[in-house]
C-alpha cells in the first residue's frame, strides 16, 4: 500500500473564529498545521503518493503543502465544490487519483502518534478501521464492537472510529458522485462480515472544536 488520502475538506464551524481565515486542516498544534503532521508521518511510514481533498479555502492548503517534494512524497489534490462532499462523496470523487490498489485514509482534523507503517501490509477483504477505546468524558457512545479480536461488529459498540481506515476500491464500486458520509457504507460492510479493525491505545486527539484544540496544545 503506497497511496494515502488525507480528508481535508471540512469547514470547521466549531473552530471559528480561527477557521474564518484558514481551513480546519491548517489549525496548529505546537506551531505546526495538523495536516503537516500527517504528511510527515505518512512519508516516514513509506507512503509515496498522497491525495488531499479540499473545499473551503482549499487554495491555502495547496499553497502551504505544494507538490510534496519537501517531504519526499507526491501530493495530488482533489478539489470539491463549496461545502465539500463529506467523507464518502470525497473519496468517490478522488477515486481516479487513488488507483486500483488498497489505500489508506486519515481525517485531517485528528492528531495521533499512530504508526501508519503498520497498515502498509494490512490484508483486507473490503475495509479495515483503526479504533480507539471509547472515552466516556468525550463520547457517550461508541461506533463499533470487535469479535474474535479483529472482526468489526455493529453490536456492543465500545470502540470509537479513529478517522484512520484502509479501503479496497471495490468498496466504492457502486457509489455515485454526490455529497454523503462514508459511515453507512462502512456499516453495510460490517453487517456483511467484510470489515476488520484493530485498536490504537496511544495518543489521539479529535481537533473538532476550539476547546479540543486548546486541550491538545496543553497536553502534548
pTM score, two decimals?
0.94
With a cut of 70, say whether residue 140 has pLDDT above it.
Answer: no
Q: Give the per-residue pLDDT at 161.
A: 95
Q: Give the per-residue pLDDT at 135.
A: 62
Q: Give the per-residue pLDDT at 134.
A: 73
| pLDDT band (50, 70, 90) for residue 149 | confident
79-136: pLDDT as tens digits: 999 999 999 999 999 999 999 999 999 999 999 999 999 999 887 889 999 999 976 5
**What residue ranges define each of the domains in the chain, with the CATH number in brackets?**
3-219 (3.90.550.10)
Q: Is 157 left (phi over 0), alpha (psi -120 to 50) or beta?
A: beta
Q: What is the mean pLDDT of residues 191-214?
A: 94
Q: Give the per-residue pLDDT at 136.
A: 56
Q: What is the mean pLDDT of residues 157-182?
A: 95
**CA 53, chain centre distance (Å):** 11
- Calculate what percentage of the chain has a pLDDT beyond 70: 97
Cα separation, 89 vs 73, in Å, equals 25
Q: What is the mean pLDDT of residues 158-184?
A: 95
Of 32, 41, 36, nearest to 8 by C-alpha is 36
Q: Give the per-residue pLDDT at 12.
A: 87
With a cut of 60, say whether residue 138 has pLDDT above it.
Answer: no
Cα separation, 132 vs 142, in Å, equals 9
Q: Give the per-residue pLDDT at 152.
A: 96
Query: How high does pLDDT run on average in the chain?
Result: 94
- Calculate what percentage of the chain has a pLDDT beyond 90: 84
Which cell numbers in the block locate residue 84? 465539500
Q: Give the per-residue pLDDT at 25.
A: 96
Amino acid at each position: 500500500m503506497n497511496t494515502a488520502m488525507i480528508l481535508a475538506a471540512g469547514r470547521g464551524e466549531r473552530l471559528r473564529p480561527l477557521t474564518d481565515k484558514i481551513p480546519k486542516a491548517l489549525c496548529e498544534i505546537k506551531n505546526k498545521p495538523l495536516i503537516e503532521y500527517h504528511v510527515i508521518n505518512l512519508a516516514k511510514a513509506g507512503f509515496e503518493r498522497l491525495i488531499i481533498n479540499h473545499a473551503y479555502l482549499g487554495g491555502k492548503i495547496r499553497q502551504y503543502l505544494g507538490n510534496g517534494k519537501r517531504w519526499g512524497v507526491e501530493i495530488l489534490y482533489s478539489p470539491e465544490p463549496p461545502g465539500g462532499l463529506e467523507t464518502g462523496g470525497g473519496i468517490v470523487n478522488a477515486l481516479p487519483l487513488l488507483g486500483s490498489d488498497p489505500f489508506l485514509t486519515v481525517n485531517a482534523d485528528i492528531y495521533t502518534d499512530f504508526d501508519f507503517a503498520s497498515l502498509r501490509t494490512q490484508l483486507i477483504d473490503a475495509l479495515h478501521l483503526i479504533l480507539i477505546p471509547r472515552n466516556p468524558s468525550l463520547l457517550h457512545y461508541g461506533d463499533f464492537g470487535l469479535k474474535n479480536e479483529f472482526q468489526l461488529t455493529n453490536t456492543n459498540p465500545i470502540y470509537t472510529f479513529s478517522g484512520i481506515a484502509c479501503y479496497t476500491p471495490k468498496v466504492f464500486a457502486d457509489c455515485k458522485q454526490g455529497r454523503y458520509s462514508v459511515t453507512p457504507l462502512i456499516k453495510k460492510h460490517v453487517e456483511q462480515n467484510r470489515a476488520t479493525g484493530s485498536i490504537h491505545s496511544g495518543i489521539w486527539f479529535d481537533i473538532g472544536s476550539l476547546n479540543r484544540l486548546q486541550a491538545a496544545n496543553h497536553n502534548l
